[in-house]
Chain A
Amino acid sequence: MTTLAAAGSQRYAWLLLAFPLAGAVILLLGGKRTNSWGHLVGATMPVAAFAYGVVAFVTMLSYPAAQRSRDLHLFNWIDVGTFRVDIGLQLDQLSICFVLLITGVGALIHIFAVGYMAHDPERRRFFGYMNLFLAAMLLLVLADNYLGLYAGWEGVGLASYLLIGFWYFKPTAATAAKKAFIANRVGDAGLSIAIMLMFATFGTIQFSGVFHAVPSASSTTLTAICLLLLLGACGKSAQLPLQSWLLDAMEGPTPVSALIHAATMVTAGVYLIVRSNPLFNLSPDARLAVTIVGAVTLLFGAIIGCAKDDIKKALAGSTMSQIGYMMLAAGLGPAGYAFAIAHLLAHGFFKAGLFLGAGSVKHEMNDEVDMRRFGGLAKILPITFVTFLIGYLAIIGVPPFSGFFTKDSIIEAAFDKGGTSGAILGCAAVLGAAITAFYMTRVMFMTFAGERRWEESAHPHEVPPVMTAPMILLAVGSAGAGAFLILGSRLADFLAPVTGAPPESKGLFTLPGTVTLVLVVVGVAIAWAIYGRREVPVTAPAGNFATVAARKDLYGDAVNESLLMRPGQWLTRLSVYFDNRGIDGIVNSLAAAMGGSSGRLRRLQNGFVRSYALFMFLGAMVLVLGGALLVVRI
């Protein structure tokens, strides 16, 4: 695949970055002057970027498939000796998918936030950060080299930190922001080392140069690079073992959660792996690692989602799980890349819709997030309910909603991998689908069905149109995106020049697909038996061992604490001890010895003339005797 220079309307691809960046600059530097109209600017910029994205997409479609990858050189960033980095934007089939998702879903979330944040005194700052978030993410997916990608990667980390800690006066939010940032730093370190290793091996970090030179590298080096990239992807995409920040990140305002989980941030890891597919294709070991991470995380997140009473945290567990599916698919190689992206796009729609629905519920329930205090909201928030219902049907994979097509493709691809690993991965994916059905049904029943359990002070009524409109649009996407992308393998054919083509589909309703559907029905039925048929208790029951573990995020924090935090604290305490007793001890005792001896020596100066006279006599005697001795010797 060759990359041509951008032409025509695509020469203005920098507008994609410029719009949200300009929004962020205006809002963050404009200060209070922009308070009254800032949110309008903030919401317009993503819409403008989306409009341009559509133009670029249509232009791309007008080219033949082999010429769709276009490069727009912006400027020469670094030119030192043999190290040369040109900043350019790469518009190809993969990046345009992300551009449309980020700007499209992002714009809808911005519009929703206009209503959601209406009563927040800091709404302008919020929109500034949101625009910054979009700009960083667009740089991440549009850069044509790893350094540009890394810059966007860090920008996303910064923006997420600012947004998770948006309500910085809440200690939990401030801590969650720090946690997200630190967990991401670990992944970022992996990515940066991978980039350095690439430069050392290939002498370039341009995508085209690296991918061209890949076959010449040794398989050990390739595997090392790929595993480091995987570490980076784990950090951003909240995969094991760097998953712990995602649940705490729910401290941010709900539109932020929607943005992080649907359009930006967590999708970056999947993008990184799919973008680096020429590297991963040649390293089966690394791909196996990716699939294992994905499979473990998809079960891990799903189990956590089952026990959370906080609606946002239940959805966060589900994000972790769905991203696990994407990682699993991405690890399958060319057979799975397109399905990973398909699921990512569909997930972008339904997860954004679910989060906005959760946000509108929370908005109407006086910021209550405990689902045990919801109940019976279907009649009161009908639009929210219907859009949430469509998102729900999409995520659990009921045909013909989008999750069915995309998730089914991934499960099929996992089984098609063959061998023991394929069977294990496939079973994990099927099991995950069943658990997904259980916990999402649980969320539905606890929130929208049954009797009302909320307090008298809450007076929920349907949210304004500025909030319902984005939810309706996202619901449309949740319903149709999967069928549109998968049927006739539209997306796979579109992406084939970048990621390679997956094998021919065996059609829908194969054996694994049917088993999955049956298990989904079982999951729904169990959830109905527990949460639909019976009344949900307002206080959470004690729960068995598994429930308690899942409520505590399967001890993810405890593991981090005991493996990393406590040894770290011991280390610092040990160094402090050595510093105090060892280094300080030597220096202090030396000083004390000096001080003590000089204090004693000082006593010789006693003020009595006769003792001075004695010393003078003694000194004179020493001189005279010494002189006499010398004279005698000589």
Chain B
Amino acid sequence: MVSPAHYIALAVILFVIGAVGVLVRRNAIVIFMCVELMLNAANLAFVGFSRLHGTLDGQVIAFFVMVVAAAEVVVGLAIITSIYRTRRSASVDDANLLKY
């Protein structure tokens, strides 16, 4: 029997993996994927709590999150592509001109 606690634990594990990925990876695409992972961890938590409470609110919010994530991917990938075109690199450390 899979209890809601398991869903929550899985969501936390996924979120932490995503967060660590965002912090330690330098490839913009991988960072992007990690961000997606974090969003989906949140989705999982919403859905898990929705099931726990027996309401549909969490599931509706999960849809909203998916829409936002899709929009974010559109904009983010466009930026990453244009950076790659000009710099021939997808590393976020190379795009560091805006600083002190």
Q: Which residues of A contact B (CB under 8 A)?
A: 602-603, 605-610, 613-614, 617
Contacts and interface: CB of A to CB of B under 8 A. Distances in A.
A613 B31 CA distance: 11
A489 to B, nearest CB: 98
Interface of B: 19, 22-24, 26, 31, 92-93, 95-100
B92 A607 contact: no
A608 B23 contact: no
Nearest to B24: A610
A613 B100 contact: no
Contacts of B93: 608-610
A606 B96 contact: yes
Contacts of A607: 96-100
Nearest to B95: A609
A617 B16 CA distance: 11
Nearest to B31: A609
A613 B93 CA distance: 13
A605 B99 contact: yes
A610 B19 contact: no
Contacts of B23: 610, 613-614, 617
A606 B98 CA distance: 8
B54 to A, nearest CB: 24
Given A609-B31, A610-B22, 7 more contacts: A606-B96, A606-B100, A607-B99, A607-B100, A608-B96, A610-B23, A613-B23
A609 B28 CA distance: 10
Contacts of B99: 605-607
A614 B23 CA distance: 6
Contacts of B22: 610, 613
Nearest to A611: B23
Nearest to B91: A609
A622 to B, nearest CB: 15
Given A602-B100, A603-B100, A609 B92 contact: yes
A617 B100 CA distance: 21
Nearest to B28: A609
B30 to A, nearest CB: 12
A411 B66 CA distance: 122
A613 B22 CA distance: 8
Nearest to B22: A613
Q: Lowest 5 A-B CB distances belong to which pairs? A: A607-B99, A607-B96, A609-B92, A602-B100, A605-B100
Nearest to B25: A610
A501 to B, nearest CB: 95
Contacts of A605: 99-100
A617 B95 contact: no
Contacts of A614: 23
Nearest to A603: B100
A606 B92 CA distance: 13
Nearest to B35: A613
A496 to B, nearest CB: 94
A617 B18 CA distance: 12
Which of B23, B93, B98 neighbours the largest number of chain A CB atoms within 10 Å of its CB?
B23
B90 to A, nearest CB: 12
8 contacts: A606-B100, A607-B99, A608-B96, A609-B92, A609-B95, A610-B23, A610-B26, A613-B23
B29 to A, nearest CB: 13
A617 B95 CA distance: 21
Nearest to B19: A617
Which of A605, A606, A608 neighbours the largest number of chain B CB atoms within 10 Å of its CB?
A608
Nearest to B98: A607
Contacts of A613: 22-23
A601 to B, nearest CB: 9
Contacts of A603: 100
A608 B92 contact: yes
